[in-house]
Structure 1
Amino acid sequence: MFEGMGLGGCILQAEYKFFKKAVMVLFFSVTTPFGIALGIALSSVYKEKSPSSLITVGLLNASSAGLLIYMALVDIPPSRFHGA
C-alpha cells in the first residue's frame, strides 16, 4: 500500500505531460491485479520450503529492499526536510 502511495506521489510530482502520467497510472493499475491473478494461479504448484523457492524469495526481497533504500538515500534529498 505504501509503495503504491509513493509511486502515485512521484507520478503526480513528475514534470510529465498528462498523457504520460495517464499511461503510467494505467500500467500500474493493470499490472497490480495481473500480479495478484498470477500469484493465485501459481499458488497450487508453489512449494514454500523448496530450496529454489527460498532462494527466489530471498533475491526478490533483497532487490526490493535495495530499491527502497536507494530511493530513501538518493531520490529523497535531506534538504527537503530542512526547509531548503
Structure 2
Amino acid sequence: MPAPPNLFRPVLDVLIPHYRNPDGLAQSLQSIADQDWLGTDATTARLRVIVLDDGSDAADMTQVEAHCAAFRAQSGQVLDLVHEAQNR
C-alpha cells in the first residue's frame, strides 16, 4: 500500500526569535511568504514557521498576533507562535 502523498512533500522549518519589534517581524514574515523555495506552493510543500517571542509587552503582542494571522491567511502555511511572558 503506498504512503500518503503528504509524507513525500518537502518540509522546511523556519524559527524566528522575536522581542519587541513587530514591524521587523512583519518584514520577516512577508519575506518568507514571498519565497518560491524549490519552486513549490502550499499544495506541494510543507513550511512551518515558529515565532518565539521572549517577553514582548501586551501592545507589541497584539501586533505580533495580527502579523501572524495575516501570514497564515496569505500563505496557507503553518505558523506557531510561542510567547514567554518574561524575557529570559
TM-score normalized by structure 2? 0.27
Name the structure where helix makes up a greater proportion of residues: 1
TM-score normalized by structure 1? 0.29
Name the structure where strand makes up a greater proportion of residues: 2
